[in-house]
Chain A
Amino acid sequence: MYVSVKGGEQAIANAHAWLAERRRGDAEQPEITAAQIAEQLGLAVDRVMAEGACLDRDLAALALKQARGDGTEAAFLLRAYRNTLPRFGYTAPLDTGAMQVQRRVSATYKDLPGGQVLGPSFDYTHRLLDVALAGQNGEPPPAPLAEAGVEPMPRVTGMLAQEGLMARDTASDAEPPDLTREGLRFPANRALALQAMARGDEGFLLALGYSTQRGYGNSHPFVGEIRMGAVPVEFTPPELGFAIDIGDVVVTECQMVNQFAGNAETPPQFTRGYGLVPGQNERKAMAMSLVDRALRAKELGEELTAPAQDAEFVLYHCDNVESTGFVEHLKLPHYVDFQSELEKLRGIRARWAADRGETP
């Protein structure tokens, strides 16, 4: 039986008015604009785009403002907006080899072709709070420039593959499954897992990736390569029938290199885990690549012992919009459900007391 409960409209309206006032904060302070968020809180915007599974910096910045800085709420807003738009089609796969690289580091080769470029990174900062940033402290000095060469930056994994030491990812042009059209089905292939993780919660993937390093799943990873920068997007509009370049997206890619013992058919070699996320977010790209490799355990004939190797566990729980929906729905009225639980418990307790000859 479903019993609808009415009422509370005024309370809801007033709560929303108070929310709007809290969002604005102290009126003595200037109001922040979405453009300021997009420019100055760019990494928060990147995370909202990733978990909202919709690349649009201005919308993600607006969502962050509306959500008072709550990243998961902002991702939820972006997902909801995305649902109102038609789908024009699928782009060609991004060619990260053609990236205009802003950052590229490798932990496996010191002198790799194309070299190591740090880019705008927190690495090697001292993690001391800079009190000067608390107020408005003017323009920083411009970043230094150096004459750039044209040395190409091949992917490290390609270099290992040439030696036969790295398992190649089979390049097929099979139509990949689409989570937004069919939902999760198991067994999930790698393409579906990568799509689910790309929109997955950074914290969840970080914890799972960390668990693989601590012994939950046998992994001994090296960062083959991390690269970040703008990649052109190629799309074939049905109106034209040929591919055009429709602009750039900034992405972060991580190639994680892992040992593999080999088996009857395959000699010992390295295998790889892959992470690709929008914007500048190498923590998530790295975590994703660790979990991607862990999820390949079954395909590689490894023993399944750890949570990160369990595709259903990982993929069903990595989406924070879904997770928060089900967790937070618990606060909605469950009066009738709870009433029935109460009745049942009273009955059980009465029988329990009667069995002991007590009067309830």
Chain B
Amino acid sequence: MSILARASADALREHLADAPPLPAHTRLKGPDTGLVMLRGRAGGDGTPFNLMEATATRCTVSMGQAMGHATVLGRDAAQAELAAAIDAALQLPDLRAPLLAAVIEPLAAAQDAARAETARKAEATRVNFFTMVAMR
């Protein structure tokens, strides 16, 4: 779910094209957009407080015997519905392996690569202190 939540609807469609077609699904709820209240902790590790809200979109679908659900940050209804459908399909024994190979694994690799690039840019701005000692 963490991988689907970070993938755009376009990216999901693109990778689904490489997988066997998903069976039809029925929308049980949504997709609808609302808010989640983000929380923080005082001092980073103390008492929780309400920080502020963020938009989120959720969708619940059924696909045969399987139920799928997605809640994702943002307002992309297509992303939430596709993520819920993929969540359902991953529970179907015939589809799980091909979906993992065609959708989840490549998306995970792309997201890991993006994170690694950010980490490498940050690393390039690491300060290496040297101390000048005047000795006479």
Contact = CB atoms under 8 A, between A and B. Distances in A.
Interface in B32-73: 32-56, 58, 60, 69, 71-73
A102 B116 CA distance: 11
B127 A198 contact: no
A245 B123 contact: no
Contacts, number: 224
A88 B44 CA distance: 24
B44 A54 contact: no
A53 B52 contact: yes
Interface stretch (A40-48, A187-195, A308-316, A327-335): A187-195
B53 A191 contact: no
Contact of A87 (B5, B29, B34, B47): B34
Interface size band for B: 35 or more
A274 B43 contact: yes
Contacts of B129: 110-111
A204 interface: no
A56 B56 CA distance: 9
Interface string A49-75: 010011110110000000000000000
* Residue from B41, B52, B120, B127 with most neighbouring chain A CB atoms (10 Å): B52
A55 to B, nearest CB: 4
A272 B35 contact: no
Contacts of A190: 42, 47, 49
A89 B36 CA distance: 5
A133 interface: no
Contact of B121 (A110, A143, A179): A143
B2 A245 contact: yes
B50 A178 contact: yes
Given A94-B40, A97-B44, A274-B44, A239 B29 contact: yes
Contacts of A360: none
Contacts of B73: 55, 233, 246-249
Contacts of B46: 168-172, 274
Contacts of A97: 44-45
B120 to A, nearest CB: 4
Contacts of B75: 56, 58-59
Given A55-B55, A239-B69, 17 more contacts: A53-B53, A55-B52, A94-B38, A94-B51, A103-B122, A118-B125, A145-B124, A148-B122, A157-B45, A171-B47, A192-B49, A195-B51, A233-B36, A239-B58, A240-B69, A245-B2, A249-B54
Interface of B: 1-2, 5-6, 29, 32-56, 58, 60, 69, 71-75, 115-127, 129
